[in-house]
A and B are shown apart, each in its own frame.
Chain A
Amino acid sequence: MSRVARVKARRLIPQRVPLVRAYVVFIVSVLTLYTLLRTSTLHDYVAQPLAVAFAKISGLALNLLSLKATATGTLLSIEGFAARIDDVCTGIFVVAIYLSAVLAYPSRVGEKLKGLFLGASAILILNMIRVVSLMYIGRFFPALFETAHLVVWQSLIIFSALLVWIYWTERFVGAPQH
């Protein structure tokens, strides 16, 4: 290695350390949260109640929008269409990804808490809109249901998490921590 290359490497390595650390924290956090959420305890006490709550609140929203909806456990039904809301449909895994990104980004604890509250609320509200819209699509445009469910909304939810995260880093994280 030439002297110039060695000097360049010496300058670059300290700059890259926080970045590499952030990626490592992010990946470890995603894997840990995913594995935890798949355990029967968290499934029973977090994911399942959240799915039931989603079914109930979506049912209320659909009733407000003049579609007669009933929620039985995680099963949401309207006239001519029914869907079961499982843990993946609640957006909880996207919240876990977002939480990992907030944890990994260099910032203070207070900023992280704000970020978590802002992001989790935004993702869960958008997911509610997703569930309601999918019920409409399933009822009135059944041929489009699979595409809307598996292709469009999955991409839009993760993209919204990215947007909220960028917004949080710009708006809530103090400059010295950047």
Chain B
Amino acid sequence: MLPNTKGLLSFAGRFLLIFFLMLPLWFLLTPAYNRLLASATNLLLALIEDPHVTTLVGWKHNISIVRSDVPLTPGMRIQGFTGYLTHFNLILMVALVLAPRQIEWRRRGKILAIALGILSLSHLLYLLIGVKFFQQPELEAYQSSAGRFYVWGTNFYLSVASQLLPVLIWMVLYRTINGKPGTGARVL
């Protein structure tokens, strides 16, 4: 076994431990975070939508889309976002930041705060793009370049960016915040 393989395996072990410890906490905090995300997105929607007809409502593990121009009727299907898909990457982010050894807690805290801030901004952006995506049927959306962008953006976030962002943020922050080039894998 190579010397670094041992370090890598212990990094993986610590990651898994933290990941599964964070999971119940994330479930507990999801409804509150959904409401926070919905409120923040509503502020932005009020600025960019004309006329302003869309409101997001955080409801348990989902974020629903309510439109003031479409009255609610019994049995009507309400569109929205699943909390799992929108921000499951928060657990991945926390586990990645906490798993490496030999990093001062002050630096770790700084990285965690910045990383969670960037991820929250990405969640906001996803909701804004997703609202536009849900406003029109997919086939209709392909008729305009903006519509194509909303479809592409929503699918890209769900298939790639939601998983990739925490890893990318983690790597960039470890290099830039008091990091020395080449120390990345050594501190694992």
Contacts and interface: CB of A to CB of B under 8 A. Distances in A.
A77 interface: no
A167 B11 CA distance: 12
B134 interface: no
Given A34-B159, A93-B160, A155 B185 contact: no
Given A151-B88, A158-B92, A158-B167, A166 B160 contact: no
A163 B96 CA distance: 11
B167 A15 contact: no
Contacts of A30: 160, 164
A151 B84 CA distance: 6
A93 B188 contact: no
B126 to A, nearest CB: 15
Interface in B1-59: 2, 4-5, 8, 11-12, 15, 19, 23
Contacts of A88: 158-159
Max chain A Cβ within 10 angstroms of own Cβ: one of B4, B160, B185: B160
Interface in A146-178: 146-147, 150-152, 154-159, 162-163, 166-167, 169-171, 178
Interface in A54-101: 88, 93-94, 96-97
B155 interface: yes
A129 interface: no
A155 B4 contact: no
B89 interface: yes
Contacts of B95: 155, 159
B181 interface: yes
Contact of B164 (A158, A163, A169): A158
A110 to B, nearest CB: 19
A162 B23 contact: no
A166 B8 contact: yes
Contacts of B172: 23
B94 to A, nearest CB: 11
Contacts of A93: 159-160
A106 to B, nearest CB: 12
30 contacts: A34-B156, A34-B159, A35-B152, A93-B160, A94-B163, A97-B160, A146-B84, A150-B82, A150-B84, A151-B23, A151-B91, A154-B88, A155-B88, A155-B89, A155-B91, A155-B92, A155-B95, A155-B163, A156-B19, A157-B163, A158-B164, A159-B12, A159-B92, A162-B167, A163-B8, A167-B4, A167-B5, A167-B8, A170-B2, A178-B182
Interface of B: 2, 4-5, 8, 11-12, 15, 19, 23, 82, 84-85, 88-89, 91-92, 95-96, 152, 155-156, 158-160, 162-164, 167, 172, 175, 181-182, 185, 188
